[in-house]
Structure 1
Amino acid sequence: MRVMRDATAVATAQKLLHACGPSWLGDSYDHWSAVVKAWAVGSTRSLHDDDRRAIIYRIQEMDEAKMEFSRALENEENA
């Protein structure tokens, strides 16, 4: 039962990733889960588990893309 819209999950994920920066972890689920839980403590409404997972998965996607981009730039500079 998701309450949050996809666009809201994406916007929240972007804000959290921007605030925290990339995780640089191979398996970042636990890291981002802790970040989302900490953020949810101060949110104005309770966060449903499905919403929390949606935010975490969006952050992980963005995190992985950001790390891949950084690695590609680094490899290009080293070539």
Structure 2
Amino acid sequence: MHRQHLLLADSCEQFADACIEVLTSDALATDLAHDAREFVSSRFSRSAVIAKHPGRWRAVGERGVAAVDDVRVSHSANGGAI
């Protein structure tokens, strides 16, 4: 939401104004950073993702650490792309 998690702009001028505003207001920068982190954490933290997709994570748990290692190896072999 505008001014809660981020600042929105529809033009280059509005974007520049928003950048200046956040760079010159410690309170705004602090509030945006806190609220944005909370927003992302509530949706994408490990516990949030597991709660949303318990069956998928149960399968990973049954395979154990090897499943995570498989992803890491695949990720490294593809130059960081999955």
- Pair in the same fold by TM > 0.5: no
Query: Which structure's relative contact order is higher, taking Cα pairs within 8 Å and 6+ residues apart?
Result: 1
TM-score, reference length from structure 2: 0.40
TM-score, reference length from structure 1: 0.41
